[in-house]
């Protein structure tokens, strides 16, 4: 019996089915990150070292975000509606996971990388954890920092009317990644104060973006702040700039697909990102050694290109459904893995059949819980966000880009964060 499929070629295809290939990519990315964290604790003999599963999944996620998020904002033509959508999309399950980790502290301690002061509260509220060099309650939260930086920067570019220059920004951040690798070996903005300052600016800026009061100034301040933190406050400055380059590569590919841009910036930016860790002082980890890094990048790029080439074909339904729950799956699995490790002990010393059984059981539990949180937390809050977005604003009306003649793009409903 053939697998359940979604046919994107049907004349009655919904927007969801037409974008099913993006959900399939998210599903692959989520599984890759889950395996990267699961295998060292449960079945270390199966973990590959010729490429990094986790970074592969993360790069796929970033390419997807770059491909869809700017078009989502442009399709809406409304900064307020975009940010209300993002807030109701990002925060509900994020806050639930954060609260769950604090509750689980009775059985497994909170990660040592999380400061025990208000700077951690500020960094978690903004999601700018990694770019203010603070650890998250869940290990996977670090990638959300770069998603947030991208959203803030894209908003500023949209307001300024520079949002179509995706290729230029892809190449620019690729060049910054190379230079940062050469000259920066640690964050220049040290201490807790970047978390405090960014927290205040973020909260005030969000009020302005949503209310409409001083929206343009707020967009510029938040966009500028995000870039400064990315380059000078990140744990690994070259990696932060490289991630932004990858996201703008995704956007540049979309521009090329729409006929409004070329592919040469994609090629140049890809080469720069590939070279960024080669001469970097912060490149001592196994996964950024040239062979592993190049292979990981190549696999992520090939996966994205392959899915894009097959986007009009039938897609396995199970992979698409994994993509739909990918955000829950991404955030939930690592805290649950730490809890399982504390309850089960060292699984690595057990018999292979036991390792396989426990691994399969763990994956089933994580998927089951992700289905529940997606259905009862994520979807209701997204629906609430759509209703809130239609409430009248107390400030100015929807802000469109100076060149915005774009008709509403329903793909905006299906843009997801990393994981």
pLDDT at 17: 53
184-208 core/surface letters (b: 16 or more CB in 10 A; e: else)? beebebeebebbbebbebbeebbeb
C-alpha to C-alpha distance for 95 and 101, rounded to whole angstroms: 10
**Of 378, 326, 323, 382, whose CA–CA distance to 81 is shortest?**
382
pLDDT at 407: 34
pLDDT at 11: 32
pLDDT at 19: 81
pLDDT at 8: 33
- Where the chain has pLDDT below 70, the residues are 1-18, 393-419
pLDDT at 68: 94
Tell me which H or E stretch contains 415: none
pLDDT at 108: 87
pLDDT at 283: 83
pLDDT at 261: 87
Q: What is the pTM of this model?
A: 0.88
pLDDT at 404: 38
3-state secondary structure of 214: coil
DSSP 169-186: HHHHHHHHHHHHHHH-SS
């Amino acid at each position: 019996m053939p697998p359940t499929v979604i046919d994107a070629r049907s004349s009655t295809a919904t927007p969801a089915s037409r974008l099913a290939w993006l959900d399939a990519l998210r599903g692959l990315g989520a599984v890759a990150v889950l395996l990267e964290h699961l295998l060292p604790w449960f079945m270390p003999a199966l973990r590959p070292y010729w490429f990094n599963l986790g970074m592969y999944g993360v790069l796929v996620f970033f390419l997807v975000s770059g491909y869809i998020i700017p078009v989502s904002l442009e399709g809406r033509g409304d900064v307020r509606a975009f940010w209300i959508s993002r807030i109701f999309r990002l925060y509900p399950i994020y806050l639930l996971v954060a609260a769950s980790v604090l509750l689980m502290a009775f059985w497994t301690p909170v990660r040592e990388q999380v400061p025990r002061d208000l700077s951690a509260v500020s960094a978690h509220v903004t999601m700018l954890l990694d770019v203010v060099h603070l650890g998250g309650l869940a290990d996977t939260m670090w990638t959300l920092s770069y998603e947030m930086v991208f959203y803030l920067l894209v908003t500023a570019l949209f307001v300024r009317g520079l949002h179509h220059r995706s290729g230029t920004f892809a190449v620019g951040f690729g060049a910054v990644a190379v230079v940062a690798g050469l000259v920066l070996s640690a964050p220049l903005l040290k201490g807790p104060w970047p978390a405090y300052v960014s927290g205040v600016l973020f909260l005030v800026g969000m009020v302005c973006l949503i209310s409409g009061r001083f929206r343009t100034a707020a967009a510029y301040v938040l966009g500028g702040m995000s870039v400064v933190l990315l380059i000078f406050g990140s744990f690994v400055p070259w990696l932060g700039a490289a991630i932004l380059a990858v996201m703008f590569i995704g956007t540049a590919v979309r521009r090329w697909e729409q006929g409004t841009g070329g592919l040469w910036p994609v090629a140049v930016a890809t080469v720069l990102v590939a070279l960024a860790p080669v001469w970097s002082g912060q490149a001592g980890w196994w996964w950024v050694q040239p062979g592993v890094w190049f292979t990981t990048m190549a696999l992520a790029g090939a996966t994205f290109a392959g899915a894009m080439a097959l986007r009009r074909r039938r897609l396995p339904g199970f992979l698409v459904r994994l993509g739909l729950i990918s955000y829950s799956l991404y955030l939930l699995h690592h805290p649950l893995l730490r809890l399982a490790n504390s309850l089960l002990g060292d699984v690595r010393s057990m018999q292979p059949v036991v390792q396989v059984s426990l691994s399969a059981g763990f994956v089933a539990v994580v998927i089951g819980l992700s289905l529940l949180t997606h259905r009862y937390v994520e979807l209701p809050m997204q629906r609430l966000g759509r209703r809130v977005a239609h409430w009248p604003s107390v400030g100015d009306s929807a802000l469109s880009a100076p060149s915005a003649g774009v008709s509403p793009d329903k793909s905006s409903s299906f843009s997801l964060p990393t994981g």
